[in-house]
Chains A and B, each alone.
Chain A
């Protein structure tokens, strides 16, 4: 990670580093570094930890003063109640279904369009590409009202199809696939074309199998953002059984918070967050890479 320095600099630094005072400063610097980073890291993790540990506590202990860290008594009822009093199971399933539909649609459309923009020539290529990138400029709130009217007239309120509608195609996905697919050597594709293969076959049999890294990255990114989806379902879903996780949880803040036990709420939140966390820890590199690329569309 550190920049490769020239010989002169390395030797200059090496000489300087042997001076005893420099050693002390450096030790101090390292200690400070670790302290600072640890403090920030703790800040980052604490809310999660508090949530997970709290989900095992009695309600009175969660909001107890002074606050406790580990539960005095480990309680599992919160999780039971989280899946019975609140339809967490159903909501979890809804989110999974929505994620699955979105994944399928986004991956397919992005790899189709990405291939065309990467390797095919056609008159409107640049115009269309710019236009698609341009849609990323439109805030969701601007299309929210007309989409709502559209969806309600099409009788798609409270349906899975209605919920996935705005998310079926991702401009970021198209961009990502185009970037990656353009690294596939065109000689490979030419050879297939000369052999008489149709573009679709080329796409399906050569390009897609070679695009697995990008597809994986896009899949992860799409999953994360689909799991999060809240605003649009908020607008079109009011039947409890159809809600995705985020929307369902919100039902239990606000007015109903007094009746809901806090522990149950924390347990429910943990159910929402922890699976994603596990996926993150396992697929860390790819997930960070997907965020990296989402920013670098410069």
Chain B
């Protein structure tokens, strides 16, 4: 042993980082499928999209001259539909976030204690969350039908009037908001339920001892304690709202007129129906920036519900 061991070159062991016996390249092997994937499917395409966005790029036309920020200038200055789509995206997202989080919170407060049948109710609330978007959008399109749909059927029979859910500009986005909330409120409820678990019980008890009623307890103890959860719900709902696409494609196709042409839908139309991919890419970066800002807000200010 002795001489041979002494003559063997000393192994470089980075004791500081790992005290165990695998070569340094092994971990990289484990992460390589994921890393290669993300390089190919995310990093490279994002860079390519940026590249496309600074060229005039119409699919099918052979010339793609570099045009600098022209696409961006165009969509903000000359494209009325784009500007309107920004407004509509904000309108839809805001409405969705508000409704979704409010209803989610109310449901969570109601469901926060055990009672007979709670299990069934939780199942019922969560069923819309697991359904497939497209078939349910088709069903809702039926339900929203102005003349023959179920909702107007009930409304007409009970109250004598109909609502032009998807056929009127002013009702189109609210109708979409209702449908989107229907789909997602079980999820919001669940997040709030988790957040409610973390409200310090001592504070609630102290408030009760002080004689606070239920509303006061909520407003002064529970609500502030829910702040991180609320922020989380607000931000994730906003992101979901901005990325909504399938429902709109099925239920309204951006209409009536342009009433429900939100940013995501307009990006799709511009890129794959009008084939103006340079502009579409520019728009998609605007969307990216929105989402990016929202995510940064969430990372900086939210601790999120604690995982137990």
Does B bind A?
A: yes
User: Quick one: closest B residue to A270, CB to CB?
Assistant: B135
**Interface mask (B280-308 → A, CB under 8 Å = 1, otherwise 0):** 11001101100110010000001111010
Q: A245-B132, A277-B131 are in contact. Are A109 and B37 (CB under 8 A)?
A: yes
Q: A113-B33, A193-B21, A262-B142 are in contact. Are A291 and B129 (CB under 8 A)?
A: yes
A residues 1-41 touching B (CB-CB < 8 Å): 1-6, 8-9, 12, 30, 33, 36-38, 40-41
Residues of A within 8 A of B42 (CB): 135, 138, 143
Contact status B38-A132, CB under 8 Å: yes
Q: A37-B121, A169-B38 are in contact. Are A288 and B114 (CB under 8 A)?
A: no
Contact status B130-A280, CB under 8 Å: yes
Q: In the assembly, what is the distance between CA of A228 and CA of B118, in Å?
A: 28
Q: In the assembly, what is the distance between CA of A297 and CA of B38, in Å?
A: 19
Q: In the assembly, what is the distance between CA of A45 and CA of B129, in Å?
A: 11
Residues of B within 8 A of A45 (CB): 124, 127
Residues of B within 8 A of A273 (CB): 131-132, 135-136
Contact status B118-A44, CB under 8 Å: no
User: Quick one: closest A residue to B242, CB to CB?
Assistant: A139
Contact status A8-B209, CB under 8 Å: yes
Contact status A138-B194, CB under 8 Å: no
Counting CB contacts under 8 A, is B190 at the interface? yes
Residues of B within 8 A of A51 (CB): 135-136, 139
**Interface mask (A204-230 → B, CB under 8 Å = 1, otherwise 0):** 000000000000000000001001101
Q: In the assembly, what is the distance between CA of A144 and CA of B140, in Å?
A: 27
Counting CB contacts under 8 A, is B87 at the interface? no
Residues of B within 8 A of A265 (CB): 138
**Count of A-B contacts with CB under 8 A?**
299
Contact status B34-A169, CB under 8 Å: yes
Counting CB contacts under 8 A, is A101 at the interface? no
Q: A139-B287, A228-B132 are in contact. Are A40 and B107 (CB under 8 A)?
A: yes
Residues of A within 8 A of B150 (CB): 50, 67
**Which of B43-51, B67-75, B90-98 binds A?**
B43-51
Contact status B52-A272, CB under 8 Å: no
Distance to closest chain B CB from A270 (angstroms): 8
Contact status B304-A296, CB under 8 Å: yes
Q: Which of A144, A174, A249 contacts B135 (CB 8 A)?
A: A249
Q: A1-B118, A292-B190 are in contact. Are A141 and B28 (CB under 8 A)?
A: no
Q: Which of A1, A230, A287 contacts B112 (CB 8 A)?
A: A1
Contact status A253-B182, CB under 8 Å: no
Q: In the assembly, what is the distance between CA of A174 and CA of B249, in Å?
A: 31
**Interface mask (B201-213 → A, CB under 8 Å = 1, otherwise 0):** 1001100110000
Contact status A269-B304, CB under 8 Å: no
A interface residues, tally (CB under 8 Å): 111
Counting CB contacts under 8 A, is B77 at the interface? no
Contact status A287-B305, CB under 8 Å: no
Q: A63-B148, A253-B141 are in contact. Are A246 and B133 (CB under 8 A)?
A: yes
Counting CB contacts under 8 A, is A256 at the interface? no
Q: In the assembly, what is the distance between CA of A150 and CA of B48, in Å?
A: 10
Distance to closest chain A CB from B217 (angstroms): 12
Contact status A298-B253, CB under 8 Å: no
Q: Which of A108, A203, A246, A280 contacts B127 (CB 8 A)?
A: A280
Kindly list the 3 A-B residue pairs having the minimum CB-CB distance in the complex, ordered from nearest. A298-B304, A146-B45, A116-B30
Q: What residues make up the interface of A, taking CB atoms closer than 8 Å to B?
A: 1-6, 8-9, 12, 30, 33, 36-38, 40-41, 43-45, 47-48, 50-51, 54, 62-67, 108-110, 112-113, 115-117, 120-125, 128, 131-132, 135, 137-150, 165-166, 168-169, 174, 179, 190, 193-194, 198-200, 203, 224, 227-228, 230-231, 234-235, 245-247, 249-250, 253-254, 262, 265-266, 268-270, 272-273, 276-277, 280-281, 284, 287-288, 291-293, 295-298
Beyond known contacts A37-B110, A40-B125: 15 more, CB 8 A cutoff: A1-B114, A3-B201, A41-B125, A48-B136, A63-B145, A116-B27, A121-B18, A125-B27, A139-B291, A143-B45, A145-B49, A145-B271, A145-B281, A246-B132, A272-B132
